[in-house]
Amino acid sequence: MTEAETRDLEAAIDLARRPPRRPAMPRTGLRTRVQTSTRVRGLLPTGLVIQRAAAKGAAAWRDPAQRERARGTMNVILANTPRAEELEALARRRLIESEVQRALFWQPWREVSVDRASASNLQRALSCERGVLVSGCHLGPYFLQVAAVTQLGRSVIAVVGPWLLADPTPDFWGRRVARWRRGMCERGERVVSAVGSFAVVRALLERGEIVLSYLDMPGGTRTQFLGKPVMLSGGTAQLAFQSKAIVLPLRARRAGSRVWTDVFEPLDAREFASADELHRAVASVHERSVLELPETLEDPGRAGAWEGGATTSEWASTGADRPLRRPSSPGEPPVSGAV
């Protein structure tokens, strides 16, 4: 590495360690402002908000277009898995959980719950004097999953797509971006762009930082996942293997009006013979996690994910060089390995 490259790397590391700027909420029409105001939404009990959202999701099953869309998405997820025969019931539940998750996003974000086993796994990982690569999937209310870490007074650096770093636009989407970033600021999360960030993230892990990345995004690693070959991002395993970090798989799930973070057994990259072996182990953990709550997984065919490449027989990347796009629905990040 040249002297100039070293300076650039150190500058990027310094930038990633800085607290992100808290954005202002963009001005929009009155109705959108009310719908997306956490202050207004906070006046209603979260339990009541969830009940109304669940009822709306249940009613959506009577809409033929929404019903078929839910069936199609669940078929892509469940095909060739042990839960394939539950497609109809899980498609119904998908419509409910989608509405509930959207409602939760705009409610005030409160602390998450952690059971005893998860607390133990979390403590084991964080007590190591090495970097920790938190590995998540777009499952359940995943915008809250690292709160289990930040509640302990530890900061997380999230690998994020450019869409989340852009100036919020004066519309619903812009207010959603601003709300997400404000929530991260409140938890003390920091960010690093997913674009060209491999060396930066590796250096952060080598220096003992906690970094969040997502496994369930398109990439160049062909993996047997959810009963079919899936082109997954291999960045998690490569980063952890090269930096000798701990990989900490976790997920967010809802139970009533509470959000729980399930923290699985930490994986020590030093105990694996190769990055590929580590990747398969991480994917196996997430596969079991997803199959327990498949109706809460984001649509693999959404914009920025596998799109038209996600079928019942495989999820094939539609091209690593395609331009990055913002999600087509309120729930989805478009960058491989990124929130």
Burial (Cβ within 10 Å: 0-12, 13-18, ≥19) of residue 273: exposed
Cβ within 8 Å of residue 298, ≥6 positions away: 138, 139, 216, 305, 331, 332
Enumerate the domain spans of the chain: 3-309
Torsion angle (degrees, nearest 10) of CA 227, 233, 238, 239:
-130
Torsion angle (degrees, nearest 10) of CA 327, 190, 98, 332:
10
pLDDT of amino acid 196: 87
Task: Return the ∠ at Cα 127 (arms to 243 and 261), rounded to 5°.
Answer: 90
pLDDT of amino acid 5: 86
pLDDT of amino acid 15: 93
**What is the Cα–Cα distance from 248 to 309, expressed in whole angstroms?**
29
List per-residue pLDDT tens for the chain, 339 residues long: 888 889 999 999 999 999 988 999 999 999 999 999 999 999 999 999 999 999 999 999 999 999 999 999 999 999 999 999 999 999 999 999 999 999 999 999 999 999 999 999 999 999 998 999 999 999 999 999 999 999 999 999 999 988 899 999 999 999 999 999 999 999 999 999 988 899 999 999 999 999 999 999 999 999 999 999 999 999 999 999 999 999 999 999 999 999 999 999 999 999 999 999 999 999 999 999 999 999 999 999 998 899 999 999 999 986 543 433 444 444 333 333 444
